[in-house]
């Protein structure tokens, strides 16, 4: 006889919403919830398993036996099993054992809606409340303004397991990071952190991109409320938080979502659409209402319960195309005969419309590597509805250019200037992410050519060019001080390198670039608009020099940039200027404090000497492998 008491948190309206795929707060109903029924405290469980014959809650409270705690299936055809178990409280370990109607298959699964999970390799779910007394009211109240698209986005991408470790190579906890990481990000003047996936995952080498606990912060670094404390502390220091989020695929681990109730419940049943050959993982069935509700509820959960300011959606390209990473014969066209995944596109649009309508001041950011149009345009204009898109083409072309010997760069200047032809087709974020410093690609520093001085000068120039190019900015941890080696997820960054002047110089430069980007409106007010950028001259291939203007709302605050991509200083280099008066140098990547040669300009007077199509011009010194920025 079951010891489960009939009880439900679902109304008929909830069930109607769930069946239609429109219930976007399923985390309030499904999963485990500590409640009181008839004066008795215990835990209510609810799980979606429509192919199940029986569903039992098993755990440390009953010796993992499925004979006593069977849930009740709802009568309404929703496929939801539920019930209340008295006296089970926070901290209880549990799973669901599901006997399927599908040929008697038996599965043993973690709770898809668990708010806490055991530390891998253990796989049980944990009944948990994760309560936290938030103190970020000021941040949340002003977020609509501070997190807007015309505000600065200087993003520091972080892998929590390897940013910094303790002396015994143990992980820092969420609360440790709330001290060290927050102080560092604030000192470096980054506006946001982006965490690589912190949702629970079983396999460390996946870096968190193979999720099994979509609603649970990984237990590697502490409890769920500890992660809330980290987010809260970041907010109290005026730092926004972006999470990597993976709705594109999930692993086949036995305790995960795959073949959940003895059927293809969450994944698409056709392997041509339900299996990812690159990552050996399963693909969500975006055409199934309940799966869409699961994923949108998950996005809502992190924005709601964890006060997250944005989600960077991983591997969007793999969702958009039916033939992504597939050979001929391994995919089937859609009803129109082309390769677009219409169900995934519909899901993405609904996702973005839903979260933007429910949360002020958040941003959805697409990691999308193809030329799919209107990714960051509103849904009502025919777009996908993201706020920003990673500018993968810019990243690739820029790194290809910088790795070339400066002697030959004059033949490849188009690698840099081409981005201006499409820079405003989307709201682009410029990413130098973790993907660019792994798998033999080398660190950013060691992709630069030349001797030691030239490598560091090139890296300083790379970052200076990045921060003055239209768009928001993202740097993966370690890049900001010129990490020499590739990223290793099993070890701390090489913080000892900051004992050396060149590395310290890179760090000083990035700190000051973040300040420049925040303090000069011309660099962010129109960062996604063609009105915010104007070439002075992009055609001086022979000298490998680029000159351009960045503009904000106030034309008196425009800034002027000159980049020299060779190791030969360009003294008395004349550039046309649309103003008269004086120019003041406000940034120079060749400054001594950055490890440069110290070729600086100070204040310069314009002259009535027509140049580059302007009536006025000015002679500037552009340092070797350097860039300079001037204001009026």
Q: Where are the alpha helices (DSSP H) in 147-288?
A: 174-187, 224-236, 271-274
Q: Which of 413, 585, 597, 436 lies closest to 505, judged by CA?
A: 597
Is residue 332 situated within a structural domain? no
Alpha-carbon distance of 454 to 595, in angstroms, equals: 11
In DSSP terms, 55 is beta-bridged to: 98
In DSSP terms, 80 is beta-bridged to: 48
Is residue 386 situated within a structural domain? no
pLDDT tens profile 492-550 = 999 999 999 999 999 999 999 999 999 999 999 999 999 999 999 999 999 999 999 99
pTM, 2 dp: 0.97
Q: Which residue has the tokens 């809502």?
A: 300
Backbone angles phi, psi at 291, to 5 degrees: -70, -40
Give the number of domains in the chain.
2
The catalytic residue among 176, 200, 261, 314 is: 314
Residues of the chain with confidence (pLDDT) below 50: none
Cis peptide bond upstream of 431, omega within 30: no
The last residue of a domain, from among 101, 126, 151:
126
CATH classification of the domain holding 622:
2.60.40.1180
Q: pLDDT at position 85, please?
A: 97
Alpha-carbon distance of 217 to 227, in angstroms, equals: 7
Residue range of the domain that includes 589:
531-631
CATH classification of the domain holding 97:
2.60.40.10
Do residues 484 and 443 touch, judged by C-beta distance below 8 A?
yes
Q: Where are the alpha helices (DSSP H) in 306-451?
A: 316-320, 342-358, 392-402, 414-417
Radius of gyration of the chain (CA): 27
The encoded tokens of residue 582 equal 């004086």
The last residue of a domain, from among 99, 126, 153:
126
The catalytic residue among 367, 368, 397, 590 is: 367
Note if 340 is an active site residue.
Answer: no
Is residue 428 situated within a structural domain? no
Is residue 62 situated within a structural domain? yes
Is residue 73 situated within a structural domain? yes
Is residue 572 situated within a structural domain? yes
Is residue 34 situated within a structural domain? yes
Q: pLDDT at position 67, please?
A: 84
The last residue of a domain, from among 90, 109, 126:
126
Note if 82 is an active site residue.
Answer: no
Is residue 596 situated within a structural domain? yes
């Amino acid at each position: 006889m079951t010891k489960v008491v009939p009880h439900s948190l679902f109304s008929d309206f909830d069930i109607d919403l769930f069946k239609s795929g429109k219930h976007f707060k399923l985390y309030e109903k499904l999963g485990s919830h500590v409640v009181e029924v008839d004066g008795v405290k215990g835990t209510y469980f609810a799980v979606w398993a429509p192919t199940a014959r029986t569903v039992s809650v098993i755990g440390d409270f009953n010796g993992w036996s499925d004979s006593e705690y069977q849930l009740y299936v709802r009568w309404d055809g929703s496929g939801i099993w539920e019930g209340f178990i008295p006296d089970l409280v926070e901290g209880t370990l549990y799973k669901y054992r599901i006997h399927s109607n599908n040929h008697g298959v038996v599965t043993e699964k973690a709770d898809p809606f668990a708010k806490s999970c055991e530390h891998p390799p253990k796989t049980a779910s944990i009944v948990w409340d994760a309560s936290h007394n938030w103190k970020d009211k000021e941040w949340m109240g002003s977020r609509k303004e501070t997190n807007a698209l015309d505000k600065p986005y200087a993003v520091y991408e972080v892998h929590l397991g390897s940013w910094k470790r303790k002396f015994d190579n143990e992980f820092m906890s969420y609360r440790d990071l709330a001290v060290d990481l927050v102080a560092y990000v604030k000192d470096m003047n980054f506006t946001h952190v982006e965490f690589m996936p912190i949702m629970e995952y079983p396999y460390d080498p996946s870096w968190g991109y193979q999720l099994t606990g979509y609603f649970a912060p990984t237990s590697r670094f502490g409890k769920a409320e500890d992660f809330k404390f980290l987010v809260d502390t970041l907010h109290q220091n005026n730092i926004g938080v972006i999470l990597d989020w993976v709705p594109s695929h999930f692993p086949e681990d036995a305790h995960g979502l795959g073949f959940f109730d003895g059927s293809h419940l969450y994944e698409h049943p056709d392997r041509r659409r339900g299996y990812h050959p690159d990552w050996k993982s399963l693909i969500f069935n975006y055409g199934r209402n309940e799966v869409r509700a699961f994923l949108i509820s998950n996005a809502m959960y992190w924005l709601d319960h964890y006060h997250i300011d944005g989600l960077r959606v991983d591997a969007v390209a793999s969702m958009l195309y039916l033939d992504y990473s597939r050979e001929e014969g391994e995919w089937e066209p859609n009803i129109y005969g082309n390769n677009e995944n219409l169900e995934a596109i519909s899901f993405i649009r609904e996702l973005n419309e839903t979260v933007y309508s429910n949360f002020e001041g958040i941003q959805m950011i697409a990691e999308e590597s193809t030329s799919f149009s209107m990714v960051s345009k509103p849904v009502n204009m025919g777009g996908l509805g993201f706020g920003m898109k990673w500018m993968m083409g810019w990243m690739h072309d820029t790194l290809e250019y910088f790795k070339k010997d400066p002697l030959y760069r004059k033949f490849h200047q188009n690698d840099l200037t081409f981005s201006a032809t499409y820079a405003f087709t989307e709201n682009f974020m410029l990413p130098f992410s973790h993907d660019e410093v792994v798998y033999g690609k080398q660190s950013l520093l060691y992709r630069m050519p030349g001797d030691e001085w030239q490598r560091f000068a090139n890296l300083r120039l790379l970052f200076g060019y990045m921060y003055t190019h239209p768009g928001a900015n993202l740097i993966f941890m370690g890049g900001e001080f010129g990490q020499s080696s590739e990223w290793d997820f099993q070890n701390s960054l090489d913080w000892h390198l900051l004992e050396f002047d060149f590395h310290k110089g890179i760090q000083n430069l990035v700190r000051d670039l973040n300040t420049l980007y925040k303090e000069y409106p011309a660099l962010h007010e129109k960062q996604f608009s063609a009105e915010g950028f104007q070439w002075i001259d992009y055609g001086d291939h022979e000298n490998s020099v680029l000159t351009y203007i960045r503009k904000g709302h106030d034309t008196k605050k425009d800034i002027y940039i000159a980049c020299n991509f060779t190791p030969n200083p360009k003294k008395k280099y004349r550039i046309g200027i649309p103003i008269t008066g004086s120019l003041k140098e406000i940034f120079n990547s060749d400054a001594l404090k950055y490890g440069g040669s110290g070729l600086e300009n100070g204040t310069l007077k314009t002259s009535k000497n027509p140049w580059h199509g302007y009536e006025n011009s000015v002679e500037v010194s552009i340092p070797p492998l350097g860039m300079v920025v001037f204001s009026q």
